[in-house]
Structure 1
């Protein structure tokens, strides 16, 4: 990197810090749990963790730790490839089969992360003749997935059933297929979608439903 570019980025970071917008990492020194130990500015603190995705406490569940250890012994560490080339092992297919059975479906596909799943889904199953109906507080990965697709994305006010019905009715008149995209739990506000009512509306208008 040239000296000019280095100076530019140094000044930019200084401006971000001066504005109080620089993101500092909080280093966790304990296992992931509801109560964690963190280190910041050389100081140790015991805090309650409200910002993790470990909703069910599975990150340090003894049964999962044991299963992971057994998996490493049997399959090694890492796939050595992406799934599509040579990274699919029997354990992937077994889990996908069990998930599909649990949901009463023909098959299932595992992704490494939520962003990967949502980035790849919309573009794969929808085209320019289709419409996505997206809740205003959907996760950023859903928003990015909608942008990457060629479908007409229509955003309705968060959790508003009347607005959703109107948007569904309008989109159904001019699009081939509809997909309603929802979060189960909205991470910014922590509230839960009225799934029963929303799914009923989607079925009335023949829309598919994606639940993150």
Structure 2
């Protein structure tokens, strides 16, 4: 915000200068009452003109994006034009390609029985949760599926998450405190790494598949007084 006499000029985020015309007019009337020269219409017109300024945020983001392009890390979406499967169609390509990167390991996402069950659920329960689970987003279908999964795996209970990222974001923060420690393989999945970052536990990373370095981290955690030492070995055991 710039102040010039009684005039207040507001600078918008993209450099557009807006004048408080009413304040300018009021100041002009006061000046005339004192016998001073009032603001002229040319001053009012000049105050309302847009300023020639660049957007600093846009400049910073543009530089970062260009850096990604030069480093070869700028991501471009692959547009899939067919149902998920072992082979998929990709936009702007006449050939099918083999799909080795999906999470649809068992091919259930387009299984006829699964698709029909999804349609039936939409007919009876509508589309979407309309809320988070712990407020009013838990429906009987969720509990039925969780019970089936628990029965299949022989566990006490199950919590459904839409993705592994969400699961790991909810796991570590919920069960670990600053009195605990997480010892993680440095090449663990990104969802595990991000989940660990969200919790307050002491964090240690050992070199990939290096048992000696794992022992070092365990000793450090013990020396630091960690209550629970959770060893995240997913990548190490893969």
TM-score by length of 1: 0.75
Match of 1:21 in 2: 73
How far apart are the structure 2 equivalents of 1:158 and 1:18? 29
How far apart are the structure 1 equivalents of 2:86 and 2:233? 26
Range with bigger deviation, 130-139 or 14-23: 14-23
Quick one: higher RCO (CA 8 Å, sep 6+), 1 or 2?
1
Give the ranges of 4+ consecutive aligned residues of structure 1 lying more than 6 Å apart after TM superposition. none
Match of 2:149 in 1: 99
How far apart are residue 52 of structure 1 and its match? 1.5
Match of 1:44 in 2: 94
- Assess, with a 3 A threshold, how the Cα gap between structure 1 residues 56 and 83 changes in structure 2: closer, same or farther: same
Stretches of structure 2 that go unaligned for 5 or more consecutive residues are 1-12, 15-53
TM-score by length of 2: 0.68
Is 1:141 aligned with 2:155? no
How far apart are the structure 1 equivalents of 2:232 and 2:152? 22
How far apart are the structure 2 equivalents of 1:101 and 1:161? 35
How far apart are the structure 1 equivalents of 2:227 and 2:64? 47
How far apart are the structure 2 equivalents of 1:15 and 1:25? 18
The superposition leaves residues 52-72 of structure 1 with CA deviations (integer Å, 9 ceiling, x where unpaired) of 122222222222112212222
Structure number, greater radius of gyration: 2
How far apart are residue 9 of structure 1 and its match? 3.7
Q: How does 1:81-92 map to 2 (within 5 A)?
A: 81-92=131-142
Range with bigger deviation, 145-154 or 5-14: 5-14
CA root-mean-square deviation? 2.4
- Assess, with a 3 A threshold, how the Cα gap between structure 1 residues 17 and 168 changes in structure 2: closer, same or farther: closer
* Correspondent of 2:122 among 55, 72, 89: 72
Range with bigger deviation, 166-175 or 117-126: 166-175
Secondary structure, aligned partner of 1:44 = coil
How far apart are residue 161 of structure 1 and its match? 3.6
How far apart are the structure 2 equivalents of 1:160 and 1:20? 30
* Correspondent of 2:231 among 170, 180, 204: 180
How far apart are the structure 1 equivalents of 2:108 and 2:211? 33
How far apart are the structure 2 equivalents of 1:181 and 1:6? 40
* Correspondent of 2:217 among 157, 160, 167: 167
Stretches of structure 1 that go unaligned for 5 or more consecutive residues are 187-191, 195-212
Secondary structure, aligned partner of 1:50 = coil
Number of corresponding residues: 185
Secondary structure, aligned partner of 1:153 = strand
- Assess, with a 3 A threshold, how the Cα gap between structure 1 residues 20 and 181 changes in structure 2: closer, same or farther: closer
- Assess, with a 3 A threshold, how the Cα gap between structure 1 residues 166 and 7 changes in structure 2: closer, same or farther: closer
